[in-house]
Amino acid sequence: MSKVDRRILKSQEAIKKAVIELMSEKSFDDITIQDITERADLSRKTFYLRYIDKYDLLDKLIEEHINELRKTCEIESDMELDYIEGYQIWFEFFEKNYLFFSTMIASKGSPTFRSRFLDFIIEEVKGDVDTTEGKNRGLNEEVFVQFFSSAFVGLVEWWFKNGMSVPPRVMAEQVGMLFERNF
């Protein structure tokens, strides 16, 4: 595997940081490449060496965070944690990436983020659903998955919009108990 030039990584991080900061200040539609490059203190040429346009940048940024969350879930799965411990890892990840998630969830963020985040959560919840026996027997699996996935995304939105007023551990305990009762 070839070593990536540190200058490239630094410029990519500066660009990502710049667009997230700008999105916390104004609508993505109002952000220009010039705004991003000025904030990142880089040339437009550097930007275009890495991204097609600002939408490509946003798409890659969203994908990067979803993939990081996916890796976090894989690690959690390998560790065979209970729901509370697993959700604590999730909420700590959200807290660590506060600026990104709070910006994406806010009205100034990307409308496609919520959809991609929900799709990811649906993917994760599907693996835990059993509607063939127990208290969930006979329920439509798709309805069940959509309900809990939408509830979780809504809860994360609420948490960020309220400035993470509930600590990650408490969120994990509350969500973990709700999932334990229903899965």
Question: Residue 109: is its pLDDT beyond 60?
Answer: no
Q: What is the mean pLDDT of the chain?
A: 88
56 in a structural domain? no
Give how many domains the chain has, as a whole number. Answer: 2
Q: Within 10 Å of residue 23's Cβ, how many Cβ atoms?
A: 23
- Position 7 scores a pLDDT of 84
Q: Which amino acid is at 181?
A: R
- Residue corresponding to tokens 């999105």: 23
Question: Residue 133: is its pLDDT beyond 60?
Answer: yes
Give yes or no: residues 115 and 135 share one domain.
yes
Provide mean pLDDT across the span 26-30: 89
Q: Which alpha helices (DSSP H) does the chain contain, by range?
A: 6-25, 33-40, 44-50, 54-79, 83-96, 98-105, 111-126, 141-161, 168-182
Question: Residue 107: is its pLDDT beyond 60?
Answer: no
- Position 37 scores a pLDDT of 96
Predicted structure pTM score: 0.83
Question: Residue 108: is its pLDDT beyond 60?
Answer: no
CB 53 within 8 A of CB 36: no
Give the residue from 12, 171, 147 showing the smallest Cα distance to 84: 171
Q: By percentage, how much of the chain surpasses pLDDT 90?
A: 54
Give yes or no: residues 81 and 164 share one domain.
yes
What three-state secondary structure class fits 153?
helix
Out of 2-6, 85-89, 105-109, 129-133, the most confident range is 85-89
Give the residue from 171, 127, 168 showing the smallest Cα distance to 145: 127
- Domain enclosing residue 28, as ranges: 1-51
Give yes or no: residues 40 and 72 share one domain.
no
Instruction: For residues 105 and 85, give the distance between their C-alpha atoms in angstroms, rounded to a whole number.
Output: 24
CA 67 to chain centre: 9
Provide mean pLDDT across the span 110-126: 87
Give yes or no: residues 89 and 140 share one domain.
yes
